[in-house]
Amino acid sequence: MGNAELHSIHVHPVKAFRGQSPREAAVEPWGLAGDRRWVLIDDGGKVVTQRQHPRLALAAAELLPGGGVRLSAQGREPVNVSVPAPMGTTAVEIFGDKVEAVLADEAAHAWCSDYLGAKVRLVHMDDPATRRPVDPDFAHPGETVSFADGFPLLVTTLASLDALNSLIAQGDEAHEGPLPMNRFRPNAVVRGTEAWAEDDWSRIAIGEVTFRVAKMCGRCVVTTTDQVTAERGKEPLRTLGRHRRFGGQLAFGQNLVPEAPGTVRVGDPVTVLE
């Protein structure tokens, strides 16, 4: 790990949309600043992601000053969405969690609904310090998360992706590989490690910021979605099922919880503390 460093940073302002890759990002207790503070919900208040609508991969969300977002997609006029005033909240269901969030304006709902061809609404998490706790089976008291799947950050390594792609090349769906890292939608990508080194991490430092490694990241059907075409295949889940099955989950990457706020930058050294 002597040469390990932060290769790239990824922020997804709207869950399931294409995100951004800044050179640096502030780390807040609930994740990277601006990451997954917005999400789409259906009429019943359930979160809508690429699991239901792979086409969300083709829509982009760009952070605006003050926390708003600019939504865009090929062939459509972009729309700027301001952070809504917290005049009232609506209930959101995300993987069994009940969370309060604030509705965006009607123009945002209309843009997203028209794009998907399904009625959806865009909501904003106004107070991530109080809205949604981290899974208590893996959390310390008071830890919270945005609209990420379950934890503040997800870290992956280039070496493990290379190893996974080598396994895919040996399988019966070899034509689907090699897969790019964007299939896994991480926040932080590390280079300079051995393959699967992250399996043994308990605490790490990225530059000045320390993180607790909460658990392996179990992967879902989103990883089979081409983030450029929105088409679905069978990989990497087929290969993960053969080689990376841990209990009931197919694992790639590790979930992180920040131990204190700070800033991470591309090129920062990555150090294993425990």
- What's phi and psi for 92, nearest 5 deg? -125, 135
Query: Per DSSP, which regions of 104-228 are E strands?
Result: 121-124, 153-157, 188-191, 203-206, 209-218
Report pLDDT digits (tens) over 32-84: 999 999 999 999 999 999 999 999 999 999 999 999 999 999 999 999 999 99
- Burial class for 18, CB neighbours closer than 10 Å (0-12, 13-18, 19+): buried
The pLDDT of residue 86 is 86
Instruction: Please say if the pLDDT value at position 120 is more than 90.
Output: yes
CB 191 within 8 A of CB 158: yes
Q: Any idea which residue has 């379950």 for tokens?
A: 150
In this prediction, residue 2 carries a pLDDT of 75
Share of the chain above pLDDT 90, in %: 98
Token pair belonging to 141: 């008291």
- Count, residues in the chain: 274
> What pLDDT does 215 receive?
97
Position 156 scores a pLDDT of 98
Mean pLDDT of 84-106: 95
What is the rounded CA–CA span in Å between residue 169 and residue 75?
36
Q: Tens of pLDDT along 248-268? A: 999 999 999 999 999 999 999
As a whole number of angstroms, the distance between CA 123 and CA 45 comes to 10
Residue pLDDT, tens place only, 186-220: 999 999 999 999 999 999 999 999 999 999 999 99
Q: How far is CA 200 from the centre of its chain?
A: 22
| pLDDT given at position 217 | 98
Give the model's pLDDT for residue 50. Answer: 98
Q: Which of 191, 206, 131 is nearest to 161 (CA)?
A: 191
Indicate whether this model's pTM tops 0.85: yes
pLDDT of residue 88: 85
- Mean confidence (pLDDT) of the chain: 97
